[in-house]
Structure 1
Amino acid sequence: MVRLAIEADVRRMSLSLARAFDDDPVWRWLIPADGYADRMMSFGQGLLRHIALGYEATYTTDDCVSTAMWAPPGHWEASAEQAAALVPAFNTCFGANLEKFQEGFGLVGTKHPHEPHWYLIGIGTHPDWQGQGLASSVMKPILERCDTEGVPAYLEATKERNVRFYQHHGFELTGTMDFPGGGPKMYLMWREPQ
């Protein structure tokens, strides 16, 4: 069963998200290898607590093994208050790579569309539960809202193999972006309401 996430879910969701992103080329490039899982959990907890849950658009399964975090139109960029609240989590997560993260995601921001849209901040399913349609289920409430309200959606995929999954849900590949300094590629995807 899919439901809105609440504060009490943060630890379990961040654990599942950390596992989901264990083999992710972008996050593996940005986050130091020592203590990767703990660093990724810190990042997930910060993102959930200080950004995603506040929008009341984060959906998870009852057991928190799959989660989709959305930002509503006009809120894809963190506010100054949100960014300040994330500093401890970002310092823990990125450590000496914080500047690399800031440079890379600064470039990602320049590619972000300006038209009002729902933004998929992040989505992940614990590896033990992948391939069962859970990611589709946690994306569905906001995609249905997009269609009902006539609002597009946008995301950046960090794995090439996920592009086809998103295309199945109506997203189209609009471009790619290479991280500076020989980093991995991101896949920029847009979905018109259907």
Structure 2
Amino acid sequence: MADKSTPRRAPEMERALAPDRDAMIVSFCEAFADDPGLSWIWPDREDRLRRLPHFFKSIVEGTMANGVALRSAKSEAVSLWRRPGRINPGRIEILRGLPSLARAFKVGRERSSLMSSTLRAKQPTGFPWWYLQFIGVRPAAQGMGLGGAAVRDGLELARAARMPVYVEVMNPANVGYYHHVGFDTVDEFDIPDAGPHVWAMIWRG
């Protein structure tokens, strides 16, 4: 019988592989069902839930090919990280993702483009950095330390590469957590057209 006084080991993340893709997409869809940024792009919730799988299919496939994708043992928690030089999708990645993005953005294309252009204009310049693109935990798995592991293990990879990490936070409930793990707010701005407020944060290790 296990000693109940023994501390529980922190969850560990694994590098995601191609067979993990579909489970990761499901996790992101559940985690971002009511995300402020995506809710602004697709205000109708039922419509949003139909479009999120196509959106995250393109995102997950693109980052798995051009960055680092981490997952928990059952993909309940997932995080996507992009390295310097591949922060923003290139031409080939965009072309490969077009079928999925076309289905996602039959509605919401203008707001998505406005958000993307605003975020790109605010990205750091003058030094290389890693980008914490997305992190998600399925609601049923929250409170188990998986989200913290999904961030922590990615930060350790960035630390080993001696790179800072940049993230944009649109959910005010998450701002305190990012400060807790060492991110500093370096800018705040609003997406135009009554879009969400954004906290731009950098972790320097």
TM-score by length of 1: 0.93
| 1:57 alignment partner, SS class | strand
Question: Is it true that 1:140 corresponds to 2:152 in the alignment?
Answer: yes
CA distance in 1, matches of 2:158, 2:13: 18
Counterpart of 2:86 in structure 1: which amino acid? Answer: H
Q: Could you tell me whether the CA contact under 8 Å between 1:73 and 1:118 is conserved in 2? A: yes
How do 1:97-136 residues align onto structure 2 when only pairs under 5 Å count? 97-114=108-125, 115-136=127-148
TM-score by length of 2: 0.88
**2:197 alignment counterpart:** 185
Summarize deviations over 1:21-71 as a string: whole Å, max 9, x none: 11211101112524322311111111111x111135110011111101000
Question: Is it true that 1:57 corresponds to 2:68 in the alignment?
Answer: yes
**1:80 alignment counterpart:** 91
Q: Could you tell me whether the CA contact under 8 Å between 2:67 and 2:80 is conserved in 1? A: no
Find runs of 4+ consecutive structure 1 residues off by over 4 angstroms.
none
**Which runs of 5 or more structure 1 residues have no equivalent in the other structure?**
none
CA distance in 2, matches of 1:142, 1:7: 19
Q: Give the alignment partner of residue 38 of structure 1, picking from 29, 50, 56.
A: 50
Counterpart of 2:24 in structure 1: which amino acid? Answer: M
CA distance in 1, matches of 2:47, 2:107: 13
Q: Could you tell me whether the CA contact under 8 Å between 2:130 and 2:163 is conserved in 1? A: yes
CA distance in 1, matches of 2:170, 2:145: 19
CA distance in 1, matches of 2:48, 2:99: 16
**2:59 alignment counterpart:** 47
CA distance in 2, matches of 1:179, 1:77: 18
Summarize deviations over 1:111-170 as a string: whole Å, max 9, x none: 001220110110000011112211111222321122233210001112011111111211
Number of aligned residues: 192
**1:166 alignment counterpart:** 178
CA distance in 1, matches of 2:117, 2:99: 19
The more displaced of 77-86 and 27-36 is 27-36
**Which runs of 5 or more structure 2 residues have no equivalent in the other structure?**
1-11
Instruction: Mark the structure with the bigger radius of gyration.
Output: 2
Counterpart of 1:89 in structure 2: which amino acid? Answer: S
CA distance in 1, matches of 2:90, 2:199: 24
CA distance in 2, matches of 1:32, 1:85: 27
**1:92 alignment counterpart:** 103
**1:20 alignment counterpart:** 31
Q: Could you tell me whether the CA contact under 8 Å between 2:67 and 2:86 is conserved in 1? A: no
| Deviation at residue 11 of structure 1 after TM alignment | 1.2
Summarize deviations over 1:65-112 as a string: whole Å, max 9, x none: 110100012211110111122222222223231021111210110000
Q: Could you tell me whether the CA contact under 8 Å between 1:32 and 1:94 is conserved in 2? A: no
**1:7 alignment counterpart:** 18
| 2:88 alignment partner, SS class | coil
